[in-house]
Amino acid sequence: MLDLSSLTVPFFASLALVIVPGPAVLYIITRSVDQGRTAGFASAAGIATGGLVHVAGAALGLSAIIASSSIAFSALKYFGAAYLIFLGVRTLLTKPDPLAEMTRSPRSMRNLFSQGVVVQALNPKVALFFLAFLPQFIDPSRGNVLTQTLVLGAMFIALGLCTDSLYAFVAGGTGDWLRRQPAFASAQRYVAGAVFIGLGLMTAVSGGKSK
């Protein structure tokens, strides 16, 4: 079984990876700037939960299926990209209501959480990342491979949730200041929509970071 000393290297390797901003971090920052820290935290929790899907997939061998099947990979990739583009188009088409901006309540945290789950769960690069990353630190001589995979995957997700929440905290504070600026009210939906569409296109046509 994994002990504290055997977790040191994967801990720092995971920390180095989750600190670097990728599509998931950009998604959280956009939500935080647009709707505040609470929305950012809900999105970060959704991203972490979606990541657990890939941890389970890696543990059960589903990631290997995705890696070996171009059809499965392409289907998941384009479905996830389409969802991000859908979020962007919907944001662009939703016109701000000046009166509502003065008295608005935050969008449902459950909705933001669910969106985060879908965005991360439908990212095939995350599945491939876990397939490549976790086996480097698994030693069959230490015990059950399934247990080791789940422990290492959970550690990576927990670190990601911590750093993502920090991004949400900082970006949410910036968003509070921006929303007090007159020009931001009319521009924020275009910025947010463009980011979502850009992430969707990036998911569809490029490689890059999984986190």
33, pLDDT greater than 80:
yes
Give 49-82 pLDDT, tens digit per residue.
999 999 988 888 766 766 677 777 677 678 878 8
pTM of the model: 0.73
pLDDT tens digits for 105-156? 556 889 999 989 998 888 877 887 787 777 778 777 777 778 888 889 999 9
Amino acid at 204: A
CB 88 within 8 A of CB 119: no
| Structural domain spans, the chain | 4-205
In this predicted structure, what is the pLDDT of residue 113?
A: 95
Please provide the DSSP assignment of 162-203 as one string: HHHHHHHHHHHHHHHHHTTSHHHHHHHHHHHHHHHHHHHHHH
